[in-house]
Amino acid sequence: MQRQDAALLARAVELATRGPAADANPRVGAVVLASDGTVAGEGWHEGAGTPHAEVMALRASGERARGGTAYVSLEPCAHQGRTPPCVDALRTAGVARVVYAAPDANPDARGGAARLSDLGVEVSGPVPGTGAEELNEHWAFSVRHERPFVTWKVGATLDGRVAAADGTSRWITGAASRADVHRRRASAGAILVGTGTVLADDPALTVRDSADRPADRQPVRVVMGERDVPAAARVRGPGDLWHARTRDPAVVLKTLHDRQIRHLWLEGGPVVAAAFLSAGLVDEVLVYLAPTLLGAGPSLVASLGVPTLAAAHHLELLDVERLDQDVRLRLRPRPVEGVR
């Protein structure tokens, strides 16, 4: 790939980051290069139901798109959804060449590259190493597996306690860890806790910025369990709340997928975490460890029905980061034999 191609594809990926981190659709950016070698237009997808990145870039380009090259972070779609196929827009605009970074994971939408080629447009891609696939990791997982990507987050003491014997838990981890949690939590479509956590901790389940102000976009709040949620519970604050009166994680994930939630942030408590882990429905684990010892109190996960070490749930360590006095571990569960 030529240096100019790489630079413009990187620009398309950069533009894609301006789209919503949590959305039914992937984040996509596009740049149109006119035939004279100058940038004619740029665009990005602003969320479900809005024009796609290619359309926005073509609108900005006008007639200068004819004979030019479109650089797109994701393979142009080939299906009629809420908006028409992007391949048709590119062809109508007279674009001569399309370069795309990542293939489309959606079986209903992919195939745009082949269709463009059939229409006489020169196509290059996919191009690995651009960061485009990582940008839409949760969306692609959800499309392929027909359920949200599940991140289990837990804050614990060095001896694995999530609260003291009297139930107090604020705050086990420090301010740096809490800021990191809010930054990461903001990319989720929904946050889930069990009724036990609601009754014990009364969490708000909101995303807040560095000044402790509520973010403009808030994930859907989900409470899982059969017990009632108190009328005065903080989780009943403004925004979207769903009380899932079930103990079955698969039922919850199916409903969330039907609601086009692509990433679930699982906050616990220990019983709910055990249910998801036992069902093989946790895809990423974030453990924030504080240099504190309690010696008693609830552990970070309830019984997993493991009778012996040979039957233990094993995790793969992906990375470790120090956050002031705390340590964040990011792990991936290894498949449990017999669980899909």
The secondary structure of residue 149, as a DSSP letter, is: E
Our answer to whether residue 54 is catalytic in this structure is yes
Bridge partners of residue 333, in order along the sequence: 315
CA geometry: angle 73, 78, 82, nearest 5 deg: 90
- Taking the CA of residue 270 as centre, how many other CA atoms within 13 Å lie in the half-sphere pointing to its CB? 14
**Token output for 89:** 């827009």
Starting at the earlier edge strand, list the strands of the sheet with 263-268: 241-244, 220-224, 190-194, 263-268, 149-157, 284-290, 326-333, 315-323
The Cα 257–Cα 6 span in angstroms is 35
As given in the structure block, the two tokens for residue 63 are: 């007639």
Burial 65-104 (b: 16+ CB within 10 A, else e): beebbbbbbbbbbbbeeebebbbbbbbebebebbbbbbbb
The bridge status of strand 29-33 relative to strand 241-244 is unpaired
DSSP state letters, 151-193: EEEEEEETTSBSS-TTS--TTSS-HHHHHHHHHHHTT-SEEEE
CA distance 142 to 24: 10
Catalytic residue among 14, 42, 46, 54: 54
Active site positions, annotated: 54
